[in-house]
Structures are given as C-alpha cells and as structure tokens.
Amino acid sequence: MLAVTILALGKCREKYVRDFCAEYEKRLSAFCRLRTVELTPESLSENPSKAQIQKALEREGAQILAKIPKNAYVFALCIEGKTLSSEAFSQKISTLALDGKSELVFVLGSSYGLSEEVKRRADFRLSMSEMTFPHRLARVMLLEQVYRAFQIQNGGKYHK
C-alpha cells in the first residue's frame, strides 16, 4: 500500500478544518497509509523584513528536509508550480506507484511559502491554483484531491 505523508507547517486550529481533514484522512485509509506531520513555523513580527522572512524560510526548510524519507517522491506545493487537472493528478500518482515509488510526500509551507532548498529537493512543484487561498484550507484541498485521485484510479463514483 502506498504511503502518503503530508508535511505541513502549522496546526489546524479551527475545529471545522480539523473535522474536514479527519474526514478525508478516514476516507483515505482505504487507499493508502496516510500520515500528517505538523511542523512548527517560525515566529515573525507583524511586518518582517525580506531578510527575516528568508531566514525563517531557511529554518523551516531545514525542519522539512529532516522529515523527508530518503527515497520519497516529493511534491512541493508552491505558487510557481504546475497546475494539474484532477484526472492528470490521479494519473501522476498512479504512474509513480507503477514506477515503484512507495512513498509520496506533499509539502505545505508556511504563509510565506517554502525555501529554495525545499523546492530544489522536490521532484514535482505543484500549484493548486493561480488563486490565493487561506493556508488552513490548502491542507483540506490537498487531502480532498488525493482522495479524489484514488477514487478516479479505482473507478469510484465520487469523481463525476
């Protein structure tokens, strides 16, 4: 069974977000071994300088890189990434599994994004949209799309 890890900076504080995540985590248990790892984002002042943001991203990047298994296929969620349709995303996951990739890692950065080092480590840079979404919803959207991908692969009725 494919192992899927979500590496996320920050916790889901709102109950409704936690509930949405829990629902998709439960649904995904039929298709993969899902693990969510919440990392602590760096604390920054209200109006940080570019240098302070860069330093925080580097420290967050070190945390992220330390949690990525050696042979994992890594998706970095970032604005400059490639957008995929749900069908293309499903096909990508299916192809990776057929190619022998047994562990997929999805990295969700902080509100300032991801360090360049994490982006370089990524095997694929994925953008969920050209639109901007609240950070807390990105995890729910990602879990839903991973679930949808498995449903598409298995001919489920969830994806219409």
**Could you write out the three-class secondary structure of 40-104?**
CCCCCCCCCCHHHHHHHHHHHHHHHHHHCCCCCEEEEEEEEEECCCHHHHHHHHHHHHHCCCCEE
Give tens-digit pLDDT for 77-91.
999 999 999 999 999
Residue 160 covered by a domain: no
pLDDT tens, residue by residue, 40-77: 999 999 899 999 999 999 999 999 999 999 999 999 99
Domains: count for the chain: 1
* Model confidence at 159: pLDDT above 80: no
Residue 159 domain flag: no
Asked whether residue 23 is domain-assigned, the answer is: yes
Whole domain around residue 63: which residue ranges?
Answer: 3-153
- CATH for 45: 3.40.1280.10
- Quick one: average pLDDT of 27-44? 96
- Please indicate, yes or no, if residue 86 is contained in any of the structural domains: yes
